[in-house]
Structure 1
Amino acid sequence: MAIADQVPVNSGFPARTDGADVIRDVDLVGKTAIVTGGYSGIGLETVRALANQGARVIVPARSRDKATSALASLSDQVEIGDMDLGDIASVRRFASSVSNSLTRVDLLINNAGIMACPETRVGHGWEAQFGTNHLGHMALALGLMDVLCKATGARVITLSSTGHKLSNIRWDDIQFTKTPYEKWTAYGQSKTANALFANALSRRLKRSGGLAFSVHPGGIFTPLQRHLSIEEQVTLGWLNEDGSPSELAKSGFKTPEQGCSTTLWAATSDKLDGKPGVYCEDCDIAVPTELGSPTARFRGVDAYACDDEAAERLWETSEATLAGN
């Protein structure tokens, strides 16, 4: 699961394939999936595609009312649970409820996340992006480990991002207690953590035949941008001054239906058998970042996000952090 393992397998699906088309021929009847953030943006499209292929889908939600409204058309196939990724006690309650009521979980899709938010603290004073995007999902996976290992070839998909390129793990100050908070650095660190988490989790699922992968879904306009002003998105090149999508966004961004495609491919493709822990983008295994190239900022995966030693160090650090909460 090192950078040398980042070799594309030619999935046959173009980058802008709709997720529903990726799994159109996949029978998920009898399978159980859990999708965090499954009532908004690409999470909602992920849930819709899984349910349409016969899966039983459980969506943990911080706002049951919002989830119920968003998932109304899928109410026969989707169940809603109560969970807040920033509240580890609620994560553990949800995981315990699932583990006590199900014999197995086939798919865990860690889709929810926050991006570039103002400085906020969750848990025991944890920086919110690291606490929510990484620690919350790790606590969920740990709580579900027994039922994941009881499935035949369970898969855990964790959404990372090209944002991982913004920061490696800040080992000396993960929680921004010694240095001033910077929202994009914090976001980048959390996305690197997502990739390293999948790397480490894959080793812990190996005995049961399970697999874990991280995924960059692509650039997509979703509620993930809710903390960014129009002015900031103009500066980033995503919007025009009038708030309309820029030419860059029109040419490079995906729709939510397309944004869930790599997640669904990683969750179901047999081309990933025997390739645990890899980082995927555009319906394939991502290539290593080509340093110095024009695409280095938005394509490929940086070596530090695929490092086995760093993955194990983060796992141990995160376990200790969660043990104190």
Structure 2
Amino acid sequence: MNAQHKLGSGFGHDTTADDVLTGIDLTGKLAIVTGGYSGLGLETTKALAKAGAHVVVPARRPEVAREAVGELAEVDELDLGDLDSVQAFADRFLASGRSIDILIDNAAIMACPETRVGPGWEAQFATNHLGHFALVNRLWPALTANGGGRVVSVSSTGHRRSDIRWDDLEFRLGYEKWQAYGQAKTANVLFAVQLDALGKDSGVRAYALHPGGILTPLQRHLPKQEMVDLGWIDADGNLLSPHFKTPEQGAATQVWAATSPRLDEVGGVFLEDCDVAEVSTDDAPGVRPYAIDPTSAERLWTVSAQLTGVNAFG
């Protein structure tokens, strides 16, 4: 049965993170939000904390994070582009003996100049996908400890820019920043598809999503003129696109994915505007078929496990 169809959630484009948490009490729940100190991540941290959750924010810049979140969240150090850092954070967390109810893979980089991390991996694929892949697998004991948690993989409509480049994952044959971003965002979706398939018997459900277009620090690598040419802003930096959201609206879908009772029996799906998205092969909203293909999802999991040396199901 194909679950990739709208549920009729009652929410939409303009819904905020606080809206979707109306009537939901997260007291006693623990949530981890990577990059939860900037942009959508910060709004997600604020909303979850306001609803009573204890939020842990792993950050590449912990001092900046502590200044941003104040008393809202617990901050620890994590560089997703460094697998030793991922392991160190996971080891520290597991040593605390706590369980995880919500893990939101929110941190990302977008359209950066060609950058290599680790053993020479392309940075967007490594940071946005492989780092989170290793993190979730290393934290698996905590995700299953209390009957199972939810894992939310923040993707993007950018997944439409590229399927997985199986013959050149690392862009050794020529780098194009938007295609590299697209591949990483497709990987985020496929990761959720396979994680849900592997984890649902342990009570862990996984989701991927497009948060919407939002101007945040994610655009830090984009020249202003490029954003003007894309029609996002005018020459004075004012927002032009009527489709863009505020950060509070942009955080809504990932918070909905993490908490909505409507998703209790549904997993491995792609979400947008606080609902399950439809499959789309044209310019209409929705998810591309290749991004939710279970065969590709299983293949990417195998490749990712080989690259990172981490697999909770191996």
Shorter-chain TM range is over 0.9
Q: Which letter does structure 2 place at the counterpart of 1:245? A: L
1:200 equivalent in structure 2: 194
Q: Deviation of residue 152 (structure 1)? A: 2.6
CA contact (8 A) 1:150 1:208 kept: no
* Whole-Å separation in 2 of the counterparts to 1:274 and 1:14: 21
SS at match of 2:111: coil
| 1:230-271: CA deviation from partner (whole Å, max 9, x where unpaired) | 11001111011222212xx2x110000000100011111121
| 1:108-157: CA deviation from partner (whole Å, max 9, x where unpaired) | 00000000000000111000000000000001001100110112341000
Q: Which letter does structure 2 place at the counterpart of 1:56? A: H
* Whole-Å separation in 1 of the counterparts to 2:17 and 2:295: 33
Percent identity reads 54
* Whole-Å separation in 1 of the counterparts to 2:24 and 2:281: 34
Q: TM-score, normalised by structure 1?
A: 0.93
SS at match of 2:129: helix
* Whole-Å separation in 2 of the counterparts to 1:234 and 1:278: 33
Indicate whether 1:183 and 2:174 are aligned. Answer: no
Indicate whether 1:10 and 2:5 are aligned. Answer: no
SS at match of 2:56: strand
* Whole-Å separation in 1 of the counterparts to 2:297 and 2:182: 16
Indicate whether 1:269 and 2:269 are aligned. Answer: no
Alpha-carbon RMSD across the aligned residues, in angstroms, is 1.2
* Whole-Å separation in 2 of the counterparts to 1:147 and 1:300: 32
**Divergent runs of 4+, >3 A:** none
Indicate whether 1:154 and 2:149 are aligned. Answer: yes
* Whole-Å separation in 2 of the counterparts to 1:238 and 1:15: 17
Q: Which letter does structure 2 place at the counterpart of 1:278? A: V
Q: How does 1:118-137 map to 2 (within 5 A)?
A: 118-137=113-132
* Whole-Å separation in 2 of the counterparts to 1:158 and 1:17: 19
CA contact (8 A) 2:6 2:275 kept: yes
| 1:212-235: CA deviation from partner (whole Å, max 9, x where unpaired) | 000110000000000001110011
2:223 equivalent in structure 1: 229
Q: How does 1:89-100 map to 2 (within 5 A)?
A: 89-100=84-95
2:304 equivalent in structure 1: 318
| 1:247-299: CA deviation from partner (whole Å, max 9, x where unpaired) | xx2x11000000010001111112112221000000000011142xxx33xx2
* Whole-Å separation in 2 of the counterparts to 1:60 and 1:103: 15
Aligned length: 310
1:41 equivalent in structure 2: 39
Q: Deviation of residue 165 (structure 1)? A: 0.1
Structure 2: runs of 5 or more not aligned = none
1:308 equivalent in structure 2: 294
1:281 equivalent in structure 2: 272
Structure 1: runs of 5 or more not aligned = none
Mean Cα deviation higher: 95-104 or 161-170: 95-104
